[in-house]
Structure 1
Amino acid sequence: MVHILMEKYYHTNTVILDGYGYLLNPINSQRQPFHIDYNCDYSSLFIPLVPLSDDNSVQYIIPSPFIDSDLFHEATKNYDKINVNLLLQNENYYTVRQCISNPFTVLKMDFRTIHRGISNQDTYHRPMFYISVIRKNSPNQTSIPDEQLIETIKKDL
């Protein structure tokens, strides 16, 4: 299923599978800072397993179309905590949007998407399945050895 979704939403000759798994936004969680996952060479598909609502969803930023690329780069230098104040310099602006959807809707978070999970104030936990890809030939690409994990662990002991 993972490879079928990759082929549907990406040009598979331009990306490689980085990983997949589950994310959980538990009830009463803290709001995340705006961030970019890993670095600008990553994109993700998210599939919520429960409804995304006003009270448990994901927000994302759309920067001003006039923002200077150097200013954007400076604002996003720390992928874990975007400097949103820099996005406002030189009379720029940004909009914040929130994604609301039914369960099992595929949501594509494209490369360089600034986003955050909001505090889950709904009555249920919010699990999502995710698939992440990285651009082929990215300088950030890591080679994963073909050996089994258990063999690697044995070698380290």
Structure 2
Amino acid sequence: MNIIEKSVTDVLKNELKKLQTEQLSHFSSGTTLINHKLLYCNKWAVNKYEYLVELLKNESPYLKDAFEKYTLLQINFINAPPDCTDQLFHIDYLGDSISFFIPLVELSDLNGTEYLFFHDKENYMKYFPLMLEMSDKYFSRPEAKDYMESKGFQCGVDYEFRCANSDPFALIEMPNYVYHRGQKNKTNHSRMMLNILLSINNAYEYPTDEIITDSEVDEAQRFDYILKKRMMVGVMN
């Protein structure tokens, strides 16, 4: 996880606050699942919020460069309600996607996306095949730790689990190789973020539904497996 900007501009900040107010009714359904509401999708014929694309391009040279290199797929709000269901660890879309986040609240160890941090940054690419293998197994945190240990890695020496931390309205990048999960939100308020999803090779069939009620199972071909695994982890806990 990389903080690209500590804070976005007031122009974008005010627009996101306005959009948050407009979308509040959607995010007050009482769900305990991390969920998405799409604002923009490159497959839609009509995009009410297409103006956000130019607004975001003008926000940061780094973000503008990413827009030019890769394919913009979606702009959405992702919401983790208080006490939401822990996700299982994974890599999004088999490493085909890059995400940028703009959190509307402070991110801390209590609500930030949890991820595996290698102390040697070269290990992200060196062990990317291992991360993809682990992603396919959809581990809980204890399972991921045990599997890493079976491969000769020591937690606290070679790697550790961290949570994304930032001020509200920071611009954060999650590269395609990050092994992560949405953790249980331990605060008393929703953790809402703008999510900008880009594809590197257009190698995956991405969801286009406006509302994704359970963001962990948006990859259709693994839907049944993830639900069964989630149920098993719940029983073990």
Range into which the TM-score falls when normalised by the shorter chain: 0.7 to 0.9
Taking a change above 3 Å as real, the CA distance of residues 5 and 45 of structure 1, as seen in their structure-2 partners, is farther
| CA shift for structure 1 position 6 | 7.4
Secondary structure in 1 aligned to 2:148? helix
| 1:57 aligns to 2:112 (yes or no) | yes
CA separation in 2, counterparts of 1:13 and 1:59? 28
Taking a change above 3 Å as real, the CA distance of residues 68 and 112 of structure 1, as seen in their structure-2 partners, is closer
1:22 maps to which of 77, 97, 110: 77
TM-score (norm 2): 0.51
CA separation in 2, counterparts of 1:132 and 1:69? 20
- Cα pair 1:35 1:114 within 8 Å, conserved: yes
- Cα pair 2:71 2:202 within 8 Å, conserved: no
CA separation in 1, counterparts of 2:129 and 2:59? 34
CA separation in 2, counterparts of 1:31 and 1:20? 23
Q: 2:57 is matched with which residue?
A: 3
| CA shift for structure 1 position 68 | 5.0
Normalized per residue, which structure has more helix?
2
- Gaps of at least 5 residues in structure 2 are 1-54, 209-237
Which has the higher mean CA deviation after the structures are superposed, 55-64 or 110-119?
55-64
TM-score (norm 1): 0.73
| 1:130 aligns to 2:185 (yes or no) | no
Aligned ranges 1:83-122 → 2 under 5 Å: 84=144, 85-93=146-154, 94-122=159-187
- Cα pair 2:91 2:131 within 8 Å, conserved: no
Q: 1:147 is matched with which residue?
A: none
What root-mean-square deviation, in Å, do the aligned CA atoms of Structure 1 and Structure 2 show? Answer: 2.7
| CA shift for structure 1 position 71 | 3.5
Q: Which has the higher contact order (CA 8 A, sep 6+)?
A: 1
Q: 2:90 is matched with which residue?
A: 35
CA separation in 2, counterparts of 1:126 and 1:69? 29
Aligned residues, how many? 140
Secondary structure in 2 aligned to 1:77? helix
What amino acid is the match of 1:96?
Answer: F
Taking a change above 3 Å as real, the CA distance of residues 92 and 17 of structure 1, as seen in their structure-2 partners, is same
Q: 1:75 is matched with which residue?
A: 134
Secondary structure in 2 aligned to 1:32? coil
What amino acid is the match of 1:33?
Answer: L
- Cα pair 1:75 1:87 within 8 Å, conserved: no
| CA shift for structure 1 position 3 | 3.2
What amino acid is the match of 2:150?
Answer: Q
Secondary structure in 1 aligned to 2:58? helix
- Cα pair 1:43 1:132 within 8 Å, conserved: yes
- Cα pair 1:17 1:132 within 8 Å, conserved: yes
